[in-house]
Amino acid sequence: MRAIRKFAVAGLLATSIGAVPALLIGQATVVRRDTVVTVHKDTVVHIKQDTAVVTTTVTTNDRQGDVSIGATISRMPNYKTLTALLNQAHLMPTLRGSAPMTLFAPTDDAFAKLSESDMAALRADSTRLRDFLLNMIVSGKIDTREILKLKTATTMRGTHIRFGFENGHPEVNEQPIVQPGIMASNGFIYGISGVIGMSGEK
C-alpha cells in the first residue's frame, strides 16, 4: 500500500490526498499547493494558491449550522455594531429566515475606522442604512469552495462585490476575510476587516 505522507500546517495535521483538520476559528489555513482539504462536508480540491479558506465554527450551545445567520451574528462578540445596525434596519427577520444567503460582515474594528459623522448619517437615514447593509448580503449560499473560484457576486441591493487574493489571503472588495466560512442554517458568514457597504458597483 502506498504510504500517505503527512505534514503539519498552522497547527493542523493534513495529508497530500486528503485531510480532516481540527476546526480553526477566525483565520484561513495555509496549505501546500495541490492539497485536498476537508472540513466536515466542505472540500477544497487542488489549491492553486497557497491559501485555502476552510469552514470555521462559533462556540455556542448549538451545533454548527443549526441556527440562522441572524441568530449566529447576534451571539458573536466582535460584531456588535453590525448587529445593532441590522436590528435598526429591520433586516434581522430576513437573516433569521429560511432563504439561503451569505453575509459579508464587517467587524467592530472595521466600523471603528469610519468617522462619527458617517456613522451618524447612516443611522439617521433609514433608506441609506438599509441599502448600505444590503450591499453586504448576497442571495444564496457561497460556501468555502466557491470563495476560491468566484470573481464577483451580486448583492441583495443589486450591486456587485469582487473577490480576490492579496498576499495569499482571500478578500472581498479589497477587504481581507478575517473570519471565514461560519456556517449557519440558512447560509454562511464571512468576517471582514473593512466596511464594504458604503457604495456598490452596478
Query: Given a cut of 80, is residue 176 above it in pLDDT?
Result: yes
**pLDDT on residue 38:** 37
Give the range among 27-31, 125-129, 135-139, 151-155 with minimum mean pLDDT: 27-31
Q: Which residues contact 198 (CB under 8 A, 6 or more apart)?
A: 118, 132, 135
CATH superfamily of 69-192: FAS1 domain (2.30.180.10)
**Cα-Cα-Cα-Cα dihedral sign, residues 71, 65, 190, 188:** negative
Domains in the chain: boundaries:
6-52, 69-192
